[in-house]
């Protein structure tokens, strides 16, 4: 993430907070981020210098003008004008981080060998909420190397309840005893 992403993302967040639009803009930013990921040619089109700036800005209006907050559409146009559409994902990260801080939300990344069902995710969410005192959002990942158990990353800390994590802990203890 670049300094420009930090500056632009924070500026948009400040404006959204002032206008009390943080929630809808956050949701719309995430939707646009997904659209741009699925359509990388669209960013190339909006960045193409051979297309007049007015046409590129018109494309943004056509795509997002009727469905997104005017501040977000203006933000996209600004990034387009400055040739900074590649910074959009970083801006989204900064916006989300500021939103989470202001709303006492933590994001947990949960890694397991197999997909967790809704009741397992719900129980884990409750436990993490009780531990952290914050609202928790969970991003679930699957990694066959985990073997069994789960690994949770929350607020910069890693909680490792995997078999390999436990074996590593046992190995460390044995190494301490032997030395």
pLDDT at 62: 93
For residue range 59-118, what is the model confidence (pLDDT) as tens digits? Answer: 999 999 889 999 999 999 999 999 899 899 999 999 999 999 999 998 888 888 888 889
Helix (H, G, I), strand (E, B) or coil at 137: strand
Chain segment 127-178, per-residue pLDDT in tens: 889 988 899 988 888 887 777 778 888 887 887 776 666 666 676 777 777 6
> How is residue 90 written in tokens?
């970083």
- The answer to whether the pTM exceeds 0.85 is no
109 three-state secondary structure: strand
Domain spans in the chain, listed from the N-terminal domain onward: 3-100, 105-178
Dihedral sign (CA 150, 157, 88, 99): positive
Distance, in Å, from the CA atom of 51 to the CA atom of 91, rounded to the nearest integer, reads 25
pLDDT in tens, 1-44: 789 889 999 999 999 999 999 999 999 999 999 999 999 899 88
CATH fold, domain 3-100, is Peroxidase; domain 1 (1.10.520)
Q: Give the CA angle between residues 54, 21, 56 to the nearest 5°.
A: 10
Is CATH 3.40.30 the right assignment for the domain spanning 105-178?
Answer: yes
């Amino acid at each position: 993430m670049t300094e420009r992403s930090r500056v632009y993302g924070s500026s948009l967040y400040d404006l959204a907070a002032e206008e009390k639009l943080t929630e809808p803009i956050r949701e719309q930013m995430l939707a646009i981020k997904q659209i741009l990921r699925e359509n990388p040619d669209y960013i190339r089109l909006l960045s193409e210098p051979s297309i007049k700036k007015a046409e590129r800005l018109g494309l943004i209006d056509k795509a997002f003008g009727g469905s997104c907050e005017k501040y977000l559409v203006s933000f996209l146009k600004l990034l387009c004008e400055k040739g900074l559409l590649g910074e959009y994902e970083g801006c989204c990260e900064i916006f989300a981080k500021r939103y989470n801080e202001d709303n006492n939300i933590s994001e947990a990344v949960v890694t397991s060998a197999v997909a967790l069902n809704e009741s397992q995710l719900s129980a884990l969410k409750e436990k993490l909420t009780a531990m952290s005192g914050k609202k928790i959002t969970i991003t679930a990942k699957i990694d066959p190397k985990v073997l069994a158990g789960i690994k949770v990353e929350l607020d910069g800390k890693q909680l490792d309840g995997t078999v390999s994590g436990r074996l590593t802990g046992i190995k460390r203890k044995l190494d301490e005893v032997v030395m």
